[in-house]
């Protein structure tokens, strides 16, 4: 009989173990930043970690599932647990780009209330890098004067975007990616060939969960098709509007990944190295600087999703700018 897979990823075990150990020794900090190197949604991990910390009888990094805390966490009725995340905007019907100050004020009020149960109270914010300026300022007061018996968690994929005023008041727990050999083994356990696992792990910058997701979307075929179309565009055989119209048929996250991958590759090449850091000939520092500036601009512009016209125009602007940089001679 095959062994039952644990409800957490293997490389997450060390952080779970550390948290339980600190709780057992009554050494838990009052505020932590969980810095997740992975790129996939971490809300499930936040809930699992919180359930584990609240469980009366955890065993081998697994909540018992039968105590009062476990049953209420499973039902979503545990009064001393709160997760603040991005919400759907009532007007646009799209997910907001920032966690609003009103959400943080509500969380602060809940944290200040008397505990409903004789256990730890947990308040989590995810993704913390999307805290609005007003929300971050409002939360600072809570970090400066934390209530007893409360664990505040800021969960993020980009710790550097959290204001230093908040970071300096939190202990950092890093949720890193597994070593490449472990990631390849995990992907093969999920029915990927070693060749596919190796290729998709490169696409996913070492994140095996993302690699598996990209494989299921046949990302390699999208990359191959995009490279051919981009080459035709750069040679003047395909109009920017036609290329962008094709790209708009992709899911927006995949589209952004293709553009980012392309700009990164040209940045490396112009800087005189490949993605692995190996030296290349014909470095062009001025072109590399312009490409870096374009990459930053593209990251900002391609957040626009309100309508297809905006996305079309933004894509055309990025790709036309790329073509101008690559065809312009530098001195």
Look at the domain 10-175 and name its fold: Rossmann fold (3.40.50)
Peptide bond into 258 cis (omega under 30): no
pLDDT tens digit sequence for 184-211: 999 999 999 999 999 999 999 999 999 9
Helix axes 219-234, 240-247, angle to 10 degrees: 170
Residue 152, H or E segment:
strand 150-156
Q: Number of C-alpha atoms within 13 angstroms, CB side, residue 121? A: 21
- Whether the CB-CB separation of 294 and 315 falls below 8 Å is answered with no
Q: Which of 37, 38, 32 is nearest to 50 (CA)?
A: 32
Point out the least confidently predicted range of 74-88, 129-143, 229-243, 249-263: 249-263
CA 255 to chain centre: 16
Say if residue 307 is exposed, middle or buried (CB neighbours under 10 Å; 0-12, 13-18, 19+).
exposed
What is the rounded distance in angstroms from the CA atom of residue 270 to the CA atom of residue 286?
8
Structure tokens at 120: 């730890």
3-state class of 84 per DSSP? strand
Cβ count near 25 (within 10 Å): 8
pLDDT tens digit sequence for 245-294: 999 888 888 888 999 999 999 998 898 887 667 787 778 999 999 999 99
pTM: predicted TM-score of the whole model, two decimal places: 0.86
pLDDT > 70? residue 329: no
Measured CA angle at 149 (ends 146, 155), to 5 deg = 65
Q: Which residues pair with 65 in a beta bridge?
A: none
């Amino acid at each position: 009989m095959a062994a039952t897979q644990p409800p957490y990823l293997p490389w997450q075990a060390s952080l779970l173990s550390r948290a339980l150990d600190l709780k057992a020794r009554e050494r838990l900090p009052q505020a932590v930043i969980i810095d997740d190197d992975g790129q996939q949604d971490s809300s499930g991990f936040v809930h699992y970690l919180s359930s584990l910390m609240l469980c009366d009888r955890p065993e081998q990094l697994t909540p018992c599932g039968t105590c009062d805390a476990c049953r209420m966490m499973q039902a979503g009725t545990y009064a001393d647990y709160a997760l603040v995340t991005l919400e759907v905007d009532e007007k646009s019907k799209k997910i907001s780009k920032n966690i609003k100050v009103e959400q943080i004020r509500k969380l602060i009020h809940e944290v200040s209330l008397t505990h409903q149960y004789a256990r730890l109270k947990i308040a989590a914010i995810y993704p913390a890098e999307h805290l609005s300026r007003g929300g971050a300022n409002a939360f600072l007061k809570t970090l400066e004067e934390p209530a007893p018996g409360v664990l505040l968690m800021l969960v993020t994929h980009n710790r550097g975007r959290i204001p230093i005023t908040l970071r300096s008041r939190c202990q950092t727990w890093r949720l890193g990616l597994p070593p490449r050999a472990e990631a390849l083994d995990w992907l093969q356990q999920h029915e990927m060939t070693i060749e596919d696992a190796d290729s998709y792990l490169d696409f996913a910058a070492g994140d095996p969960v993302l690699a598996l997701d990209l494989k299921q979307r046949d990302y390699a075929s999208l990359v191959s098709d995009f490279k051919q179309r981009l080459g035709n565009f750069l040679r003047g055989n395909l109009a920017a509007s036609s290329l962008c119209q094709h790209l708009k048929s992709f899911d927006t996250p995949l589209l952004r990944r293709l553009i980012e991958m392309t700009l990164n590759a040209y940045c490396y090449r112009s800087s005189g190295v490949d993605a692995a850091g190996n030296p290349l000939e014909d470095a062009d520092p001025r072109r590399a600087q312009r490409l870096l500036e374009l990459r930053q601009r593209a990251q900002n512009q391609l957040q626009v999703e309100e309508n297809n016209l905006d996305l079309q125009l933004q894509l055309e602007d990025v790709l036309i700018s790329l073509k101008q940089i690559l065809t312009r001679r530098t001195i």
